[in-house]
Amino acid sequence: MTGTSRRGTVPGLLSAHPIADQLPAVYADDDFALRFVAGLDTVLAPLFTVLDSLEAYFTPALAPEDFLDWLTEWVGTELEGTEPLPVRRHAVATAVSLHRLRGTRRGLELTVQLAFGVRPEITESGGATYSERPLGAFPGAPRAGLHVALRVHNPGSIDQHRLRTVVAAARPAHLPFTAEVTSTIPAPEGT
* Number of domains composing the chain: 2
Q: Is residue 136 situated within a structural domain?
A: yes
- What torsion do the CA atoms of 8, 12, 15, 16 make, to the nearest 10 degrees? -120
Residue 33's pLDDT is 92
Q: Quick check: is 119 in a domain?
A: yes
- Same domain flag for 47 and 113: no
Please tell me the predicted confidence (pLDDT) of residue 121: 95
What is the span of the domain harbouring residue 182? 104-191
0.85 cut: is pTM over it? no
Per run of 10 residues, the mean pLDDT along the chain (length 191 residues) is 57 84 89 91 86 90 90 85 87 90 92 91 84 78 88 89 91 91 70 49
pLDDT of residue 133: 80
**If you write DSSP's letter for every residue of 96-123 in order, what string do you get?**
HHHHHHTTSHHHHHHHHHHHHSSPPEEE
Q: Are residues 40 and 108 in the same domain?
A: no
The pLDDT, as a whole number, for residue 180 is 94
Quote the pLDDT of residue 1. Answer: 44
Cβ distance 81 to 2 under 8 Å?
A: yes
Instruction: Look at residue 162 and give its three-state secondary structure.
Output: helix
Is 25 a domain residue?
A: yes
Distance (Å, rounded) from C-alpha 163 to C-alpha 71?
Answer: 22
Is the Cα torsion angle 163, 107, 125, 169 positive or negative in sign?
positive
Q: 190 with 111, same domain? A: yes
